[in-house]
Amino acid sequence: MSVPVFLITPPFTQLNTPYPATAYLKGFLNTKNIASFQSDLGIEVTIALFCRQGLQDLFNRINQSGFTLSPNAARMVTLRDEYIHTVDEVVLFLQGHNPTLAHRICKRDFLPEASRFEQLADLDWAFGSMGTQDMAKHFATMYLEDLSDLITECVDVHFGFSRYAEKLGRSANSFDELYTSLQQDYSFIDELLIKLLQSHMQRLQPKLVAISVPFPGNLYMSLRCGQWIKQHYPDVTVAMGGGFANTELRSLTDPRVFEFYDFITLDDGEAPLEQLVKFAEGDISAEELKRTFLLQDGAVQYVNNANCSDYKQAQVGTPDYSDLLLDKYISAIEVVNSMHRMWSDGRWNKLTMAHGCYWGKCTFCDISLDYIKLYEPVAASLLVDRMEEMIRQTKQNGFHFVDEAAPPALMRALALEIIRRKLTVSWWANVRFEKSFTRDLCVLLKRSGCIAISGGLEVASDRLLALIRKGITVAQVAQVNKNFTEAGIMVHAYLMYGFPTQTEQETIDSLEMIRQMFAAGILQSAFWHLFTMTAHSPVGMQPEKFNVKKAAAPVGAFANNDLVHTDETGADHETFAFGLKKSLLNYMHGIGFKDPLQKWFDFKVPKPSVAPDYIAKMLEQDIYTSAKPSTRIVYLGQPPTVEHFTKSKKGSSWEMTSFTFQTKRAPFSISVGREQGDWLAETLKKVSVDNPQLHTLQEVKDSYEAAGLDDFELFWDNKPVNTLWKAGLLAL
């Protein structure tokens, strides 16, 4: 077997699902009839490690090392036969191939247990009503985490399932530490990696190896791959690209990096990869490459062929997951947070609704870079075409839309297209908590299969949200979260602390807002992040506007993105880290809502200045506004049963029409006047989701008045018609 292009994702990203970059690139290469093979070396190394032979080799290596072991490691070494005997069955269980093992795992007498199991004091809240499978997944995950701790202590200090050698790659202003590490002998994990890489290279004999490095935790292993290929296949072209290069390596000058790669590309990978293929084939010169670093005359040069255009999103093809070991991925439950587990549990096909961010204003974000700045949506029909193709290929109907922020209008169009095609999918996406997410839009998204959303609330302070240019308010977020929650869509919020000029009072008030949202049941999951100033964000480019100072550090020869800064007017932000996370953990468990915020901190903090019922009052407010004439009216339900009857009262009688809607849970009925009923019955047919032509509210009103009926607003905006959203009549 020989292919021109070998696409690699180096260890480690996720164990439950492939990182999508190589699948996107393979899909693009398919449109150019360029043969390729892709490999997720992360899952391949994991499988080679966590098996009977892998653990035998691991324990033999530990015994030969002569290290003085900690009590925890010594216990695990003593139990080596228990680990070797159980590992194959545990991995099969986490791959979904051996579900009945859950009963034995949950009995707590099958798996050997080390220090990770000390965290099990209070799991009843999480698993008491969730079932045996989830509890067993959590136990099995901790079993693997125990083995990970053993590996880290005894054979490879850099090991981590999704953060391998992350410390070496994160904010590596200088290449020195990485370079020194790469001159050392192979670690145990390195040996597993190289053995797999060698097998692929011997079989494929590629002309170009393209290594995607999305995160700092993939960098070291990618360098190991490049190093080995250049030593053993010097005629093969080695290129690196991906999210790490796009953010960190834009000012690269260290020539030593090119001992490991021949080329490093930036931003969208399709056009640069196509040019690299042509170069490897000898069809073009290096000067014709696209957005590519290379070494010329001993110096790092950047080449960007202006005559080579990027591809539109409609032209890049459908992500292709073939070659990947889709039945070998491991569904773990590391954290018993309902949203966090979605990242590690289950197979998700990854897609984007749009290139870039439709908002593109947040001052902490790298909005100056093309991957965010250049916004280009994909047509809903093409998105669903791609979804259907991926379902046929992967046999999986779960989708994670990985947009910076999915556009609400495109989410609406996508949901309608999914419903029209009667496609059964589960999907989740990243969003902005903006007012476009009305009750009716959230109901539509839920009907189409949306199960969860995650969005940036950041600092829950209106002053700081304005400084961030988030375009939202806390009250608005509360209303939107209520709409999502009542529709049955789980809500996860990204939270930030330490934004420039944020005071202690604002930090505590932000926490109070979050407490109230959890207590009100409109927020189910959240996570705090410490603000980091980056080189390509408005804060990083113009720190004086935000009253912070950049540290006077020289530009490094390697990675340059995270910036050290001082915030003279803000709080000592890092002291709040533990208390914020501790409080959040309790709130997600439904605990501590009535406790004072001081409880979570071991130092004196201000009392909240926010009213304790602020969020509750915001949710009680009547925020109804009349729909715009251009609002689309759609009916999602089945045709109702229509019956006419005569109603009598005080000697008078009049004709009425009753409608009975059969929803999935229970029937739902309304009654209106006969003439209005005749019009409504016909209108429901016209605005059915199966009708490809969407009708606006103005068109519906015109039809009503053309039928000789009066007071459209009185009829449409009041009971019983305004309750029909429950049956699927939506204003979008």
Between 406 and 572, whose confidence is greater?
Answer: 406
Query: Mean of the pLDDT values across residues 615-635?
Result: 85
Mean per-residue pLDDT of the chain:
89
Q: Where are the domains of the chain?
A: 5-47+165-315, 65-154, 348-620, 632-731
Structure tokens that stand for 683 in this block? 């209108």
Query: 302 and 245 in contact (C-beta within 8 Å)?
Result: no
Q: What letter represents residue 48's amino acid? A: A
pLDDT of amino acid 128:
45
Strand, helix or coil for residue 340: helix
The whole-angstrom separation of Cα 589 and Cα 578 is: 17
The whole-angstrom separation of Cα 674 and Cα 685 is: 17
How do residues 346-364 score in pLDDT, each as one tens digit?
Answer: 788 999 999 889 888 898 8
The alpha carbon of 707 is separated from its chain's Cα centroid by a whole number of angstroms, namely 49
pTM of the model: 0.89
The whole-angstrom separation of Cα 695 and Cα 632 is: 6
Instruction: Give, as one character, the DSSP assignment of residue 67.
Output: P
Give the number of other Cβ atoms within 10 Å of residue 361's Cβ.
12
Query: Mean of the pLDDT values across residues 236-253?
Result: 93
pLDDT band at 120 (very low <50, low <70, confident <90, very high): low
pLDDT band at 6 (very low <50, low <70, confident <90, very high): very high
pLDDT of amino acid 121:
52
Query: 330 and 15 in contact (C-beta within 8 Å)?
Result: yes
Query: 430 and 405 in contact (C-beta within 8 Å)?
Result: yes
The whole-angstrom separation of Cα 258 and Cα 330 is: 34
The whole-angstrom separation of Cα 357 and Cα 407 is: 8
9: which residues sit within 8 A by CB, 6+ positions away? 18, 19, 21, 22, 38, 39, 40, 41, 42, 211, 212, 214, 218
Among the listed residues 277, 413, 293, 414, the one whose alpha carbon sits nearest the alpha carbon of residue 351: 414
For the chain, first and last CA: distance in Å?
53
Is residue 587 pLDDT above 50, yes or no?
yes
Among the listed residues 636, 629, 634, 624, the one whose alpha carbon sits nearest the alpha carbon of residue 697: 629
Q: What letter represents residue 419's amino acid? A: I
Structure tokens that stand for 630 in this block? 């251009």
Query: 350 and 429 in contact (C-beta within 8 Å)?
Result: no
356 phi-psi bin (left φ>0, alpha ψ -120 to 50, beta other):
left
pLDDT of amino acid 404:
87
Give the number of other Cβ atoms within 10 Å of residue 547's Cβ.
13
Q: Helix 697-706 and helix 674-686: axis angle, to 10°? A: 140
The CATH superfamily assigned to 348-620 is tm_1862 like domain (3.80.30.20)
Q: What letter represents residue 711's amino acid? A: D
Is residue 619 pLDDT above 60, yes or no?
yes
DSSP code string of 464-504: HHHHHT----HHHHHHHHHHHHHHT-EEEEEEEE--TT--H
Which class is domain 5-47+165-315?
Answer: alpha beta
pLDDT band at 565 (very low <50, low <70, confident <90, very high): confident
